[in-house]
Chains A and B, each alone.
Chain A
Amino acid sequence: MTESGVIDPSALDALTAATGGDPNFLGEMIDVFVADAVELLDLMDEALAIGDTEALRRAAHSLKSNAATFGATRLTALTRQLEEQGKSGELAGSPPFLAAARAEFAVVEDALLATRASL
């Protein structure tokens, strides 16, 4: 893990190895991840506001996938819970998870931008 335990460095290493070790490409992927995450968190907010379980499930699924790709383990776990809640249709307990996911993303974003700056 990174010093803060936010990012699993082995996941980043695997991602870098799989994509040819090009730092520019890793930087580009981090940018896409961050932009997508902001959009997906907003979509989850909207889904919760109108009780759209399928929209919550889809957005949480995408963010979970991306978080796992970058080794953001806590964000992966939180979005997995949100995805399951969307799938089951039980959204009563979702707002705290979404708030936690948003907070965790802020930390992940900082960690990834720091990684990006060091490439």
Chain B
Amino acid sequence: MSGCTVASLGRILVVDDNQVNRMVLTRALNQEGYAVATAAHGREALDLLRQPPSFDVVLLDILMPEVDGYEALLQIKGDETLKHIPVIMITAVDELNSIVRCIELGATDYLPKPFNAAILRARIGASLTAKRLRDLELEYLEQVGYITAAAAAVEVAAFDPGSLDGVAERADALGQLARVFRRMAREVRAREERLQREVRELRIEIDEARQARQVAEITETDYFRRLRGQAGDLRKILDGTRPSDREPETE
């Protein structure tokens, strides 16, 4: 029906098949500083809700063509990505029985027609506050998830310190936890790397010592000594000298 108007304190979707109601609500909400989009029935509203950008509050009429307010409310509350958006039902004062059903289906509140500016302001304000608290809660839980994922990554030596940068920027206790966790994980990693380097160096020393020992094992045998003596004699013969006194062979 229409795109959002006016930069805002929040984005509100007005769903009503009545053009006068849409005009009044749009103007009144714009006056309060909200951005408003409108839909003439439930199906159009669901299409708008399922595409970005998201809305902070939905004002929903009940009696509408195509998809009515009850069905739209059911679909919103049954959709994981939409169910946290507060829905305020638009209703005439002689339709209050319908409101009971809507609240049972998950509606946050209702707005009586004809519209009263003070009631509109209060109900939108309360719903937005609830929505923002819920958004903060969702964000908090998501960031707790980053820390638990980081802990699991540490267990399998796949921790990326950068994965906690976003959480570590928080000024609250969760941010402090992320910063401490990240620092400790970095220290553990540095210690592991140092130990690995020392192990590599020790292995080289061990290999060198083993080679020296093997050489010594060979050079210190009687057999090697005899061979060395024989090699010396042979060298003298070849040089034209008499063979020296050499150690008698043992066998």
- A74 in the interface, Cβ–Cβ < 8 Å? no
- A20 in the interface, Cβ–Cβ < 8 Å? yes
Interchain nearest-CB distance for A69 vs B (Å)? 5
For B115, the closest partner residue in chain A by CB is: A18
Contact call A65/B21, Cβ cutoff below 8 A: yes
Q: How far is the CA of A58 from the CA of B65 in the complex (A)?
A: 9
- B82 in the interface, Cβ–Cβ < 8 Å? no
Of A25, A33, A36, A68, the contact of B114 (CB 8 Å cutoff): A68
Of A22, A33, A57, A80, the contact of B20 (CB 8 Å cutoff): A33
Of A11, A32, A64, the contact of B23 (CB 8 Å cutoff): A32
Contact call B27/A61, Cβ cutoff below 8 A: no
Contact call A19/B63, Cβ cutoff below 8 A: no
- A47 in the interface, Cβ–Cβ < 8 Å? no
- A1 in the interface, Cβ–Cβ < 8 Å? no
How many residues of chain A have a CB within 8 Å of chain B? 25
Residues on A with beta carbons closer than 8 Å to the beta carbon of B27: 18-20, 22, 25
Q: How far is the CA of A80 from the CA of B27 in the complex (A)?
A: 26
Contact call B117/A69, Cβ cutoff below 8 A: no
Contact call A69/B113, Cβ cutoff below 8 A: yes
Q: Mark A16-41, 1 if CB is under 8 A from B, else 0.
A: 01111010010011001100100000
- B19 in the interface, Cβ–Cβ < 8 Å? yes
- B92 in the interface, Cβ–Cβ < 8 Å? yes
**Count class of interface residues, chain B:** 20 to 34
Contact status of A64 and B19, CB under 8 A, knowing A29-B24, A69-B113 = no
- B17 in the interface, Cβ–Cβ < 8 Å? yes
Considering residues B17, B27, B114, which has the most beta carbons from chain A within 10 angstroms of its beta carbon? B114
Of B23, B94, B117, the contact of A14 (CB 8 Å cutoff): B117
Residues on B with beta carbons closer than 8 Å to the beta carbon of A85: none
Q: How far is the CA of A14 from the CA of B119 in the complex (A)?
A: 12
Interchain nearest-CB distance for B46 vs A (Å)? 20
Q: How far is the CA of A62 from the CA of B19 in the complex (A)?
A: 9
- B154 in the interface, Cβ–Cβ < 8 Å? no
Contact status of A17 and B117, CB under 8 A, knowing A58-B63, A68-B92, A80-B94 = yes
Interchain nearest-CB distance for B86 vs A (Å)? 21
Q: Mark B1-34, 1 if CB is under 8 A from A, else 0.
A: 0000000000000000111110110011001000
Contact status of A65 and B28, CB under 8 A, knowing A29-B23, A80-B94 = no
- B116 in the interface, Cβ–Cβ < 8 Å? yes
- A66 in the interface, Cβ–Cβ < 8 Å? yes
Contact status of A36 and B19, CB under 8 A, knowing A15-B24, A18-B120 = yes
Tell me the B residues contacting A by CB distance below 8 Å: 17-21, 23-24, 27-28, 31, 63, 65, 92, 94, 113-117, 120
11 other A-B residue contacts (CB within 8 Å) besides A14-B114, A33-B20, A69-B114: A14-B116, A15-B24, A15-B115, A18-B28, A18-B116, A19-B28, A20-B28, A29-B20, A29-B23, A64-B92, A68-B113
A-B CB contact pairs (8 Å), 7 listed: A18-B27, A19-B24, A20-B28, A58-B63, A65-B21, A66-B21, A69-B20
